[in-house]
Every structure is written in C-alpha cells, then in structure tokens.
Amino acid sequence: MLIGFVAGEASGDLLAAPVIGALRQRLPGLDCAGIVGDRMIEAGASAWWHVRELSVRGYVEVLRELPRLIRLRAALRARLLAARPAAVVGVDSPDFNLRLEMQLRAAGVPTVHYVSPSIWAWRPKRIEKVRRAADRVLLVFPFEQRIYDAAGIPATYVGHPLASSIPQRTDPSAARARLGLPGDDPVIALLPGSRRAEVEHIGPAFIEAAALLLAREPRLRFVLPVAEPRLRALLIPALSAAGACAERVTLFDGRSHDCLEAADGVLVASGTATLEAALFGKPMVIAYRMPAASYWLMRQMGTVSFVGLPNILAGESLVPELLQHEATPQRLADALLALLDDMPRCTRLRERFAAIHAELRRDTPRLAAEAILATLRP
C-alpha cells in the first residue's frame, strides 16, 4: 500500500515525519512517497522530489518560478495517478497542494490536507477551494474546528505537533551546555527564517540589531541557527560589518530548538518559529520583511491584525511585531530591550505561553494517522 505525501517546505517536513512514523507502525508494509524532506526520509518515506523543490516565498518570487512549479506538479500528478495510492496527504503549501488534491480527488484518489490554509487570517474564500480539494482536513489550531464545522467540511483537530515535541518544562542551562555556551552570560536567539529570501531580507537587520544590543549590554551572547548550510553565506557580509559583535554571534547548523531553549530573549522572523519561541516560553520580538510588491498584495488580502502566531492565538498583542520599514535594527533592539527589562510583562508572557502550550498539546501523530487511515480507499 502506498500513501502519497507532498510537503512544500521545511515546516511541512517537520509536521509530516511523525505522522509517517505513526502510519508505518500501524501498517508495517506501508510505503510513503512523494515530495518529502530529510525528516520524512528518516521516518521511512521515499523522495520522488525533495522539499527544497517547492521552497519558494512571496507572490513575486512564485511568479518567477511558476512555470517550473507547474511542470513539477504535473509530473507529480502523473506519477501518483500511475501508482494509484490509497490516499494522498498534502502538507500545508495550499497554493501548490489544493489544486493537486482537486485533480487527484476527481480521479478517485482520497485526499487529506494537513494544516488548514489561514482562511481566518487572509483570503477566507479559499475555504471553498478546500471543500473541493480535500476529503478531510487535519487542523492544528483548536479554533479552526468551529470554522470547518460551520462550513460542513470534514475536519479533525489533531493538535500542533510542536506542542508535544517541545517539553512544557525546559532547561536553559542544559541547552547552553549542549551548545558550548558559558552558563552565566545572557543569550539572545536570532531566527531570521528558513528560506533564502527571508534570510536575505531580515538576517542583516537582526545582526545589526545584535550589535546595538551588545553596545548597551556587553555581556550578551547571540546564537543564530542556520536552517541550511547554504544560507550561511548570506550572513557573512553582515557579520563582517558587525565588528566586535561578530565574535559574540555563534552560528549553528540547525539546532533551533537548542538555541531557543538556551535563550533569554528572541528576535524572530514571522512564521512557525514564532510559535516555537512561544512554546519555549521566550519573550520575543517578531519581524518580517519581503519585497514591497509581495507585502502590498498580502496586506490587501489580510483579515487579521497580527502576523505572529502567538498574537493570533491569543487574540491580542502579546509581543511586538515590526514589519517592513518598521523592522529597523534600532527599533528591533529597542523593542527587545524594553520587553526584557519589563519583568512583570515577561512573567505574564510565560503564563500565557504555557496556556497556549497546554491547549495545543495532543497526541498529534496518532490522531492524524487515525484520520488518514479512516479516509483510505477501501
């Protein structure tokens, strides 16, 4: 038996891998294949294409890559239809996956979409596309269940896998030891994103902000997890320009969870990493930059006041968000220092983050695997 998986970026790889493990525990002879990442491969999936093939960010960038992506989707569709899988699971990446799922479903292949598009944040009409594309939707946020129930679309809240993989009680000292950091210096984690365009747009500002922070707090150390080794080169010019600060910035290949656990505060690009920082209970400043045209288009279609997942889940501005022209090194440094200096606010943040953690914590691999198995073709 074959179940197809289509992950569109690094976060999809992280989401799908434990589900593949849970499925293969229940069906030892199961094959899983499609567009997958390294963690999915470790869980037993076969890579027809690697997730890097789909890791494209922003409207303008997608337009440039569109011909290649269309050819890739056509080749994937043909291979899946030839293989006749028992089901296909599209993991996030709705712009790529929903159309593929519609075509497969029309051909009689059961489809599951894992992670609802952010219809509650922007482009709410996409729910009708989801209705046509998916036999079932796996939801990672509890408030989404009401939306899908009201629309009459089969959906299952499975919790967010990060809430289970990140412990509710963490040990910063142990994390610092694992990273080889001195135990008594304050640590700031810099997370500029996992994609090339993200790192290009916000990475230099984070490093400049680190230099400003260090000028005011000379004991600070900075940790910067690099999602892929090839992204290191994008940060070298900014580090070279940072002078003495560069000696206080340590780059790590991956290890973002160790860096977050070790940190006292975080500068983080908007995305899944903001949720990870919240689950680790860390005070943070969220920032984002993208090409002006992409940003304008996203703002026109947005329906919520926040971009960071902690603020969206809380329904209020728990942590600062600095976007586009506001995400200057000076404002980033000022906002993070003001937050860290406000101890009562940091305590309240940790309490709110702990409540979010508890609400998202479920046996996600088991729940997702059961929902997928219930959707299989007889």
- Give the tens place of pLDDT for each residue, 81-98: 999 999 999 999 898 999
CA nearest to 162, candidates 318, 38, 312, 272 = 272
Integer-rounded Cα radius of gyration of the chain: 21
Give the tens place of pLDDT for each residue, 97-116. 999 999 999 999 999 999 99
**CA 306 to CA 317: how far, in whole Å?**
8
Strands annotated E in 64-135: 87-91, 111-114
In 3D space, the residue among 84, 141, 135 whose CA is nearest the CA of residue 117 turns out to be 141
In terms of phi and psi (left: phi > 0; alpha: psi -120 to 50; beta: otherwise), the region of 310 is alpha
Phi-psi category of 269—alpha, beta or left, where left has phi over 0 and alpha has psi -120 to 50? beta
pLDDT at 303 over 50: no
pLDDT (0 to 100) of residue 378: 66
pTM of the shown model: 0.80
3-class SS of residue 115? coil
Half-sphere exposure of 361 (CA within 13 A, CB side): 13
d(CA 266, CA 312): 18
Write out the two tokens for 234.
């994008």
User: Distance between CA 219 and CA 205 in Å, rounded?
Assistant: 20
Query: 15 pLDDT exceeds 80?
Result: yes
Contact present, 301 and 320 (Cβ < 8 Å): no
Q: Which helix (H) or strand (E) holds 212?
A: helix 196-216
- 266, 189 contact by CB (below 8 A): yes
Give the whole-angstrom CA distance, residue 305 versus residue 312.
8
What pLDDT score was predicted for residue 325? 87
If DSSP codes are grouped into helix, strand and coil, which group holds residue 257?
Answer: helix
Cα 290 to chain centroid, rounded: 17
Residue 296 has pLDDT above 70, yes or no: no
The strand pairing partners of 139, in sequence order, are 157
pLDDT above 70 (res 298): no
Report, as an integer, the average pLDDT of 298-304: 51
Contacts of 211 (CB under 8 A, 6+ apart): 242, 243, 245, 329
Residue found by looking up tokens 């709410």 in the block: 124
